[in-house]
């Protein structure tokens, strides 16, 4: 049974399926070849994510390449890691766009343009961080690095608390419906 | 109370950020920070733009009453939409209502101050009351961080007046008995239609004197004219059953579609000519409108047609039907003539001496609705027998002075009205 999506939605789903695989395959120049089973599992999860872009499968689909990049390549800080970062963000943005409304909602070009600008904006720190990490690699460990890392982790923890800790008592019935 | 809750996208970005940074600290792998940085920014920006407003959705349609095939716009207004960036609305499909964009789904970026342009074009394709389905509206904050809804918004009800089928008639009604109108009366009086030349009588207008004839006959003669009067037309609509399947204004027409559209066309035609038009619906509601004239009355006629409820009332019998048709009223029965009560009532009206015309509204090629598991061959045979029976019925009605014509738009009634008018002018012998 083929979903009745609009061409724009089909494009988004294809991006969701292909970009995680692309993020992993980008590690080949860095000296790591992904196993077939790993790719198969990733593909199945990516298809699931493409079918249900608001599902939690997306977390696994994005985390699998991230973990793989930390574990598999001989040189994790290979320049291709930036390509992987772009691919993962493209997957996330495609899922965001796909989950704005029903599956058959036509893709709004203005919204796509907005998110492309946003994606380019959030990609700005990637080369900066990569360059910083590349420079610092091999040097003697500095306590400041760990302090900064802890600070970032703290921010992430605060964010997590903010997002997941609060459950607004939303009663949709209380929404004023006039008509 | 906050109506906004985190989106799956924000949860996903936050989870990826937290796990990746945690692993980065544990494993000491800076590449994880590089990979997580875009997600961290998405999460932070999503949370920073968390709205605190309490949006309220209002919707309305520009016109609640319109004709078949016309279009209106369903609009939305969001009150207190501070912090909302994107709106998605989805209108569920409604039978005989076309929506644009297709599927009734629309997403739009909100302008400054929550100005919404997410309108959906609505076009009813069939007469009647059309209740638009509920629709769902959802709002999303900047960076896709938080969403509000989807909330349900009640649909509006449209009153869809029947479209006016093309109709025109040049024939006059047989027995005009009103005051002032466009039809040539059987009586002489002040008018423009030549009747004859007769000797001058006291009270005749001097400008009516025909000098040529007067000089020749050596006595004053005047031109006599027919007075012009209006007429009463009663439209009887058979809504006891619907035969055939309606495809709306763009598709095939059922018998009820033809009936209602023809009734609307006839009513408009006669009202515009200045005649008084009445309506009697044979259906569940049994609506009835006394004869009246004018645009406002025409609107009432169309409104009544739009609200008719097809079906058979419980205590239906030809004896109980009251038509309130006065002497000289032209009765036009719009019916497929497949119900005995309608046939009996029509014959009864003709028996009262009223000019009655039956307009056959059964579309060509209509197939009957049959009970499930009925042998199609038997059903087809039964239907053919029923149609043959109907033809015999039409012949019998014609013999008692009640002609039947199929509805074919302009000129449908011309021939029968001419014949009825000629018959009305013949001397009649009435047995008391």
Query: Does residue B193 register a pLDDT over 90?
Result: no
Interface check B23 vs A, CB under 8 A: yes
Position B312 scores a pLDDT of 83
Q: Select from A32, A56, A61, A62 the residue whose CB has the most chain B CBs within 10 Å, as the one to mutate to test that interface.
A: A62
The count of other CB atoms within 10 Å of the CB of residue A64 is 20
Residues with Cβ within 8 Å of A44's Cβ and at least 6 positions away in sequence, in order, are: none
Query: Does residue A22 register a pLDDT over 90?
Result: yes
Distance CA B85, CA B9 (A): 15
Residues with Cβ within 8 Å of A76's Cβ and at least 6 positions away in sequence, in order, are: A30, A69, A70, B29, B30, B31
Q: What is the pLDDT of residues B130-148, one digit of tens each?
A: 888 888 889 999 988 999 8
Position B310 scores a pLDDT of 85
Q: What is the pLDDT of residues B62-88, one digit of tens each?
A: 888 888 888 898 888 888 878 888 999
CA angle B5, B7, B9 (to 5 degrees): 160
The count of other CB atoms within 10 Å of the CB of residue A79 is 13
Residues with Cβ within 8 Å of B15's Cβ and at least 6 positions away in sequence, in order, are: A59, A63, A160
Query: How far is Cα of residue B7 from the mean position of the Cα atoms in its chain?
Result: 44
Query: How far is Cα of residue B192 from the mean position of the Cα atoms in its chain?
Result: 38
Going by pLDDT thresholds of 50, 70 and 90, the confidence category of residue A145 is low
Alpha-carbon separation of residue B165 from A3, A68, B254, B417 (angstroms): 41, 71, 14, 19
Position B421 scores a pLDDT of 62
A56, A70, A102 member nearest B90 (Cβ): A102
DSSP assignments along chain A, one per residue: ------HHHHHHHHHHHHHHHHHHHTTGGGT----HHHHHHHHHHHHHHHH-TTSTHHHHHHHHHHHHHHHS-S-TT-THHHHHHHHHHHHHHHHHHHTSS-TTPPP-HHHHHHHHHHHHHHTTHHHHHHHHHHHHTTSPP-HHHHHHHHHHHHHHHHHHHHHHH------GGGS-EE-
Distance CA B87, CA B358 (A): 55
Position B420 scores a pLDDT of 63
Please compute the mean of the pLDDT values over residues B414-420 and round it to a whole number: 68
Position A171 scores a pLDDT of 35
A53, A84, A156 member nearest B40 (Cβ): A156
Alpha-carbon separation of residue B71 from B121, B122, B300, B385 (angstroms): 7, 6, 21, 43
Q: Mind telling me how many Å the CA of B246 is from chain A's nearest CA?
A: 27
Give me the sign of the Cα torsion angle B6, B12, B15, B18: negative
Interface A-B, measured as beta-carbon pairs within 8 A, has a size of 212
ipTM score for this prediction: 0.83
Lowest average pLDDT, out of B29-33, B110-114, B161-165, goes to B110-114
Alpha-carbon separation of residue B319 from B115, B272, B316, B336 (angstroms): 61, 33, 9, 20
Going by pLDDT thresholds of 50, 70 and 90, the confidence category of residue B42 is very high
Going by pLDDT thresholds of 50, 70 and 90, the confidence category of residue A77 is confident
Q: What is the pLDDT of residues B337-378, one digit of tens each?
A: 888 888 888 888 888 888 888 888 888 888 777 777 778 888
Establish whether the linkage from the previous residue to B150 is cis, with ω within 30° of 0.
Answer: yes
Whether B57 sits inside 8 A of A62 (CB atoms) is no
Query: In the numeric block, which tokens belong to residue B120?
Result: 């959906």
Going by pLDDT thresholds of 50, 70 and 90, the confidence category of residue B327 is confident
Position A143 scores a pLDDT of 64
Give B 121-160 residues with CB within 8 A of chain A: 138, 140, 143-144, 149, 151-156
Query: In the numeric block, which tokens belong to residue B249?
Result: 């204004």
Position B228 scores a pLDDT of 60
Identify whether the C-beta of residue B323 lies closer than 8 Å to the C-beta of residue B350: no
Q: What is the pLDDT of residues B282-292, one digit of tens each?
A: 888 888 888 88
Going by pLDDT thresholds of 50, 70 and 90, the confidence category of residue B176 is low
Residue A111: its chain B contacts at CB < 8 A?
A: 86, 107, 109
Distance CA A178, CA A175 (A): 9
Position B153 scores a pLDDT of 85
Interface check B58 vs A, CB under 8 A: yes
Distance CA A6, CA B327 (A): 64
Closest alpha carbon within chain B to A162:
B47
Query: Does residue B182 register a pLDDT over 80?
Result: no
Q: What is the pLDDT of residues A120-130, one digit of tens each?
A: 988 888 888 88
Interface check A111 vs B, CB under 8 A: yes
Going by pLDDT thresholds of 50, 70 and 90, the confidence category of residue B39 is very high
Going by pLDDT thresholds of 50, 70 and 90, the confidence category of residue A94 is very high
Q: Mind telling me how many Å the CA of A172 is from chain B's nearest CA?
A: 6
Q: Which residue has the higher pLDDT, B398 or B165?
A: B398
Going by pLDDT thresholds of 50, 70 and 90, the confidence category of residue A167 is very low
Whether B40 sits inside 8 A of A152 (CB atoms) is yes
Give the rounded percent of residues in chain B with a pLDDT score beyond 90.
10
CA angle B334, B336, B342 (to 5 degrees): 70
């Amino acid at each position: 049974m083929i979903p009745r999506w609009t061409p724009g939605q089909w494009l988004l789903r294809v991006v969701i399926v292909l970009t995680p695989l692309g993020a992993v395959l980008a590690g080949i120049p860095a000296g790591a070849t992904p196993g077939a089973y790993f790719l198969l599992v990733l593909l199945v999860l990516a298809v699931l994510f493409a079918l249900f872009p608001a599902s939690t499968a997306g977390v696994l689909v994005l985390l699998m390449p991230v973990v793989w990049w930390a574990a598999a390549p001989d040189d994790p800080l290979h320049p291709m890691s930036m390509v992987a970062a772009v691919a993962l963000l493209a997957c996330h943005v495609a899922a965001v766009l796909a989950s704005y409304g029903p599956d058959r909602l036509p893709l709004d070009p203005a919204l796509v343009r907005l998110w492309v600008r946003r994606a380019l904006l959030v990609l700005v720190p990637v080369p900066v961080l990569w360059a910083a990490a590349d420079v610092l690699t091999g040097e003697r460990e500095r306590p400041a690095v760990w302090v900064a890392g802890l600070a970032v982790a703290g921010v992430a923890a605060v964010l997590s608390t903010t997002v997941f800790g609060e459950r607004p008592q939303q009663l949709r019935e209380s929404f004023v419906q006039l008509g | 109370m906050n109506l906004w809750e985190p989106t799956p996208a924000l949860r996903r970005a936050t989870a990826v950020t937290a796990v990746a940074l945690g692993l980065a600290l544990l494993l000491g792998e800076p590449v994880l920070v590089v990979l997580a940085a875009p997600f961290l920014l998405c999460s932070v920006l999503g949370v920073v733009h968390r709205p605190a407003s309490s949006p309220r959705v209002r919707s309305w349609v520009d016109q609640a009453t319109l004709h078949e095939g016309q279009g209106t716009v369903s609009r939305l207004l969001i009150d207190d939409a501070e912090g909302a960036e994107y709106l998605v609305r989805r209108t569920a499909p409604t039978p005989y209502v076309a929506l644009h964009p297709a599927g009734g789904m629309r997403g739009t970026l909100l302008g400054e101050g929550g100005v919404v342009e997410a309108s959906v074009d609505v076009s009813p394709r069939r007469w009647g009351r059309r209740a638009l389905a509920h629709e769902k509206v959802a709002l999303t904050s900047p960076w896709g961080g938080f969403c509000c809804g989807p909330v349900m918004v009640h649909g509006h009800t449209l009153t869809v007046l029947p479209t006016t089928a093309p109709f025109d008639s040049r024939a006059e009604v047989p027995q005009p008995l009103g005051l002032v109108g466009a039809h040539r009366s059987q009586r002489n009086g002040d008018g423009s239609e030549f009747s004859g030349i007769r000797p001058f009588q006291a009270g005749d207008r001097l400008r009516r004197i025909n000098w040529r004839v007067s000089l020749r006959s050596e006595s004053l003669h005047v031109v006599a004219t027919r007075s012009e009067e209006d007429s009463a037309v009663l439209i009887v609509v058979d809504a006891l059953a619907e035969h055939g399947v309606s495809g709306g204004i763009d598709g095939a027409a059922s018998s009820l579609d033809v009936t209602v559209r023809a009734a609307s066309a006839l009513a408009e035609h006669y009202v515009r000519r200045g005649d008084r038009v009445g309506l009697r619906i044979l259906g569940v509601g049994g609506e009835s409108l006394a004869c009246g004239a004018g645009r406002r009355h025409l609107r009432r006629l169309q409104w009544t047609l739009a609200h008719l409820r097809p079906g058979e009332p419980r205590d239906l019998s030809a004896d109980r039907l009251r038509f309130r048709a006065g002497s000289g009223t032209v009765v036009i029965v719009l019916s497929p003539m497949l119900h005995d009560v309608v046939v009996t009532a029509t014959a009864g009206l003709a028996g009262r001496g009223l000019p009655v015309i039956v307009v056959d509204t059964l579309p060509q090629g209509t197939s009957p609705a049959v009970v499930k598991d009925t042998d199609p061959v038997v059903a087809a045979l039964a239907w053919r027998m029923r149609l043959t029976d109907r033809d015999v019925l039409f012949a019998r009605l014609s013999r008692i002075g009640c002609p039947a014509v199929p509805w074919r738009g302009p000129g449908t009634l011309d021939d029968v009205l001419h014949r009825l008018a000629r018959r009305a002018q013949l001397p009649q012998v009435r047995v008391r």
